[in-house]
Structure 1
Amino acid sequence: MRSVGVDVLVIGAGVLGRSIAFALASAEPGLRVALAGRRGAGASQAAGAMLGVLGEVTASGLHSRHGELRVRMAVEAAVRWPTWRALVHQHGERRAGGGPRARDGYGTGTFMLLNAVSARLDERAFTAVREAGRRYGLPVEDVDPDDVPAYRPLENDRALRALYLPQEAFLDARRWLAALDRALGALGNVVRTPAGELGATAAGYALHGRDAVFTAPTAVVAAGAWSTPLLHALDPDLTVCPVVAAEGTSVTLGAPAPLPAVLRTPNRAYACGLHAVPQADGSWYVGASAAPSLVPGATPSAGALRFLLDAALGQLHHGLTATAVHRLHHGNRPIGVDGHPLLGATSAPGLWVATGTHRDGLHASPLIAEELAAEILGGRPSAWLAPWRPERDLICDWPLAQAVEEAAAHHEALAAESRMRPPLTGDWPTALAELYRQRMEQTYAQLPEGFVLPPELAPLGYEHGPELAKLVTAHLDRRRRATAPATPRARGAVHPAGEDQE
């Protein structure tokens, strides 16, 4: 079997892995990068690719320390997208011999709809979008719901209020991944290889593939929801925050009408809002369900698909009923068990991590790729990545009592979105709200002391409580056993390796 020496191994070929490989290889042409990954139910192929700042804002996120840091990252990523997109396409055009630029479905404009199938949680997010616009100097315009283009809901699902966010951008995610592939193909210092077994060596890391062993002093694990078992197999003593999955189902449908901008609700119970995103070929991408899970799932469920289509046909455009189903998507969004990303160096020499971005990965990919590449190549820590170090203490912006109340509000919002109608005799709404609160109190009580599950991940607690407790307890035990704080060891700049070795 061939032995191929490179400078950096990037493990994971989703949007973050491809973007990091591109940032490294384009910044230093003499650097040799191996990008490894397999096709599967990752997040990138199933993404809706809303490159939005305001669309993801929630009331709780806007008013928490780390939530505000995430919004600021989204603002910065939006600033970087035009230059990043142009750079990727320039390399791709070189690959194509100067042909016309491939269409990636890029556009701007989002209509946010607060409709009759909403709860107070949705309304709080709707209000927070306005506040975030004022705070960060981004335009937010009131519009009449009747003036929203390509919007034809059922009468009892119609929007009562609407906002227009003119600077929120969007892409066709699958076209963008193809653009990254073309750009990577134009770089002579990037080699693609299927996924293999990653191991540590005396000099760094080795990826054992079918036909070759790739070795490098530096490895970047960007394997999405599959990152935790890969890291544990590499070094069981690493105290990297565990990564869990948020399964999502979406679908691409024929167009009942031309869609010039994104249609979406505010973020909703446990999930992103219902949304329709224009695609490069004129079709509609409609998403997305969300089901937090301890391990990635391979296929969509009938319930998730039914819930999604019911919501889209009623709340966005009932003409979707007669359109063709072009493609069913299923993916697993990676998210740190504390609700936040894992970005940067670990305590193992030469080992870096980029995962846990949840719904922000594609939008934040230019920022993460550029900042991580600069750290790897220049050894200078990034202020943008500093809060999200992989071996940090688990982040907790929630007092326990407030987390219980917020999780109960998510559950109540889920009932409203599902059109659950309580009996009209007796005070059933109050009784149900109290029942939700009691369930969340029981859920949080069974988790390790000191760990407060982010309310958006509450289903992990009430559906997988014992397994979640075991996962977190094992992580906290590893942290306690560590003899010193988990800080990166000294690293110098990465320099190109020699030729391939047979």
Structure 2
Amino acid sequence: MDTYDYLVLGGGSIGMAIAFKLASKLKNSKIAIIDYHIGSAASSAAGAMLGCFGEVTRYTFSDQAHRDKFDLMYAAHNAWPDWIKELEHISGEKIWHNPGTNIILNTQGGQLDEENFEAIISALKQYNEPFQEISPKNIEGLDAASFAKPLRAIRIEEGAVDSNQYLKVLQTACEKKNIQFINRKVDKIVKNNDLFTIKGNFDDIVSKNIILATGAFSNELLKNSNLGVDIMPIFSGVGFAMVTETKGSAFKHTTRVANRSGSCGLHIIPYGNDREYIGATNVIHTTPQHQMIPGMNIFLSHCAIEQLKGDIFWSNIKEYKVGNRPLSLDTFPLIGKTSLNGFFVATGTYRDGFHCSPIIAQDIANEIMGEKKIISDVFKPERKPIQTFTQEESIEDYALQSLSGAYEFWLKLPGIVSEKDMLNMYRQKAKDIYQQLQTDKTLNTDILFCLSMPTLPKNAMTELKNYLRK
């Protein structure tokens, strides 16, 4: 039986960063990371845009919870330069980093695109962040179809890293800190007195402290473990992406649209060596998914060819990527200690986990050491879902986001059907979901998308209904 002082469950960008920060503070402690490499975790599939201002939407500053979340993202924005230097120094390896991002506004996403684009500019001005409005014609590599030509563009300083290369450097840095890596699938966690026992198809592993950083795979583990911690359901934001061999003119900088229709913005990241990362879709499921599906492959390819450059049609696909982003029921992160002594959680980060990982790791390490926290307590793991909309507002947002998404999915309305008709149809779908749940609680648009999916498991609505009643 192996015994550790600290066990981190999950070896993605957050889990490894937490272990690294702990090892830096607790030089004589025995620390291990348990991770089961299944290839569909969020970190390994991420495009790894270091996106703070590029992720701003019209809701970012609409209420205190959203502002607190942006504070986390902004702290990470400022932390990344020194974080990269620290990892390079400890590992002795260089991290590939492509600085600069172009954000384009085109005609493919509906009115919300323009609102989110303007919100990005407003936030950049508010925080005195450098940016410049540029002509889309001057973006190297961009060659959109005539009906999808960008109307406006800005260039900001945020860039991207290669997620797989970064994770390898981070692992090397952890190993230099004498952190052990254990490649095992954990079935459940058992608490006996002051110790946690990790059980699976291996000899028991014991620790005084557990940090749960298993992302979208947390639900099953928590359910099997029955630890008595009251953590809200975690959904899976499934993203599909691909790495292609460059054809035609190559992009020089990361180029993307604003976030749209319940999804992360379409983007392309030039990795160099004739490789380009193209991402990413976002479909909400109740459980993690592991395979690329034809519909999303067609959709992503179609959008990239039309909105980025036609030569992608001829590109060789070198790799498909499937990632499961952890999405809490209220869409806000779950970070910090729980009511169970020695049990900490870092999940629910959705699309921001990779970018925010240095600050999340520092915050968890600080809390374990009894030092000042960085992240607001509003995101503590055991909480009631944060409510930032009324039901009426969420119904309206669902309708607008759905219509925007439908246009990107090539919707063409016949003369006898108007946008008003479509919006009314989507409003009714959202109302029907609330009626089935019989709740006065409000759900975010992303969760409503999930509950309206034809792939929704039969028992999902009942389980959520029971949770909301509780």
Contact 2:87 / 2:170 at 8 angstroms: preserved in 1?
Answer: yes
**Does residue 27 of structure 2 align to residue 37 of structure 1?**
no
The match for 1:152 is 143
> 2: CA distance between counterparts of 1:5 and 1:429?
62
Contact 2:367 / 2:373 at 8 angstroms: preserved in 1?
Answer: yes
Contact 1:33 / 1:191 at 8 angstroms: preserved in 2?
Answer: no
Contact 2:191 / 2:227 at 8 angstroms: preserved in 1?
Answer: no
The match for 1:24 is 22
> 2: CA distance between counterparts of 1:236 and 1:91?
36
C-alpha spacing 1:68/1:467, structure 2 compared with 1 (3 Å): farther
SS of the residue 2:291 aligns to:
coil
Structure 1 residue 118: Cα displacement = 2.1
Give the alignment of 1:196-345 within 5 angstroms. 196-197=186-187, 198-208=189-199, 210-235=201-226, 237-256=228-247, 257-279=249-271, 281-345=273-337
Could you tell me the percent identity over the aligned residues?
A: 26
The match for 1:420 is 411
Structure 1 residue 381: Cα displacement = 5.2
Q: Encode CA deviations 1:54-110: one digit per residue, 9 max, x unaligned.
A: 1111102332322222222111101111111111122211xxxxxxx33x3212111
Runs (4+) off by over 6 Å: none
Give the alignment of 1:20-99 within 5 angstroms. 20-40=18-38, 41-93=40-92
Structure 1 residue 236: Cα displacement = 5.2
Structure 1 residue 230: Cα displacement = 1.1
Contact 1:62 / 1:128 at 8 angstroms: preserved in 2?
Answer: no
Comparing 438-447 with 258-267, greater Cα deviation is found at 438-447
Structure 1 residue 448: Cα displacement = 4.4
> 2: CA distance between counterparts of 1:270 and 1:42?
20
TM-score (norm 2): 0.95
SS of the residue 2:263 aligns to:
coil
Structure 1 residue 427: Cα displacement = 4.8
The match for 1:364 is 356
> 2: CA distance between counterparts of 1:117 and 1:29?
53
> 2: CA distance between counterparts of 1:45 and 1:403?
32
Q: Partner amino acid for 1:216? A: S
> 1: CA distance between counterparts of 2:261 and 2:96?
29
Q: Encode CA deviations 1:261-303: one digit per residue, 9 max, x unaligned.
A: 1110110111001000122544110000111011111211110
Give the alignment of 1:325-474 within 5 angstroms. 325-376=317-368, 378-380=369-371, 382-424=373-415, 426-463=416-453, 464=456, 467-474=459-466
The match for 2:8 is 10
Q: Partner amino acid for 1:294? A: T
> 2: CA distance between counterparts of 1:192 and 1:421?
52
Structure 1 residue 201: Cα displacement = 2.1
SS of the residue 1:334 aligns to:
strand
C-alpha spacing 1:391/1:24, structure 2 compared with 1 (3 Å): same
Q: Partner amino acid for 2:186? A: G
SS of the residue 2:243 aligns to:
strand
**Does residue 119 of structure 2 align to residue 121 of structure 1?**
no
Comparing 286-295 with 318-327, greater Cα deviation is found at 318-327
The match for 1:483 is none
Comparing 403-412 with 320-329, greater Cα deviation is found at 320-329
Structure 1 residue 457: Cα displacement = 2.6
Q: Encode CA deviations 1:355-400: one digit per residue, 9 max, x unaligned.
A: 0100000000000001101111x22351414121110111110011
C-alpha spacing 1:9/1:293, structure 2 compared with 1 (3 Å): same
> 1: CA distance between counterparts of 2:181 and 2:297?
37
Q: Encode CA deviations 1:430-460: one digit per residue, 9 max, x unaligned.
A: 2122112221222233224232111133212
TM-score (norm 1): 0.89
> 1: CA distance between counterparts of 2:126 and 2:246?
36
| Structure 2 unaligned residues grouped into runs of 5+ | none
SS of the residue 1:50 aligns to:
coil
> 2: CA distance between counterparts of 1:193 and 1:254?
32
Structure 1 residue 188: Cα displacement = 2.0
Structure 1 residue 195: Cα displacement = 2.8
Q: Partner amino acid for 2:35? A: G
> 2: CA distance between counterparts of 1:282 and 1:66?
41
> 2: CA distance between counterparts of 1:64 and 1:317?
38
SS of the residue 2:414 aligns to:
coil
Q: Partner amino acid for 1:21? A: A
Contact 1:193 / 1:209 at 8 angstroms: preserved in 2?
Answer: no
> 2: CA distance between counterparts of 1:469 and 1:317?
41
Structure 1 residue 416: Cα displacement = 1.1
Comparing 279-288 with 217-226, greater Cα deviation is found at 279-288
C-alpha spacing 1:199/1:280, structure 2 compared with 1 (3 Å): farther
Q: Partner amino acid for 1:15? A: S
Root-mean-square deviation (CA, aligned residues, Å) is: 1.7
C-alpha spacing 1:411/1:460, structure 2 compared with 1 (3 Å): same
